Amino acid sequence: MKELIEYIARSLASEPDAVRVTESNEDGRTIFRLQVADEDKGKVIGRQGRVAQAMRVLLRVAAVKGGTHAVLEIE
């Protein structure tokens, strides 16, 4: 799942080397924190948050297939 988020974010970002995804487990769910360069935040979030929402949906589907719960936070 981490690789999926990283792949999508790197594809969108102007500075793909600045993309970082960290993973942590809290309260029985996996939290993925996506960090991108400041000028790429708008691209990753998208208009009215559509790109970020699509990434969250894909992550949620992948997590359900794996039998877990996952959350994406963009920092």
Rounded Cα gap, residues 41 and 69, in angstroms: 24
User: Which residue range is the domain that position 45 belongs to?
Assistant: 2-74
Using CA atoms, how far apart are residues 49 and 53, in angstroms rounded to an integer?
6
Residue-level pLDDT at 8: 94
Q: Which CATH number covers residue 44? A: 3.30.300.20
Sign of the CA dihedral running 40, 41, 44, 47: negative
pLDDT reported for residue 19? 96
Is the predicted pLDDT of residue 66 greater than 90, yes or no?
no
Please state the domain count of the chain: 1
Note the pLDDT of residue 23.
95
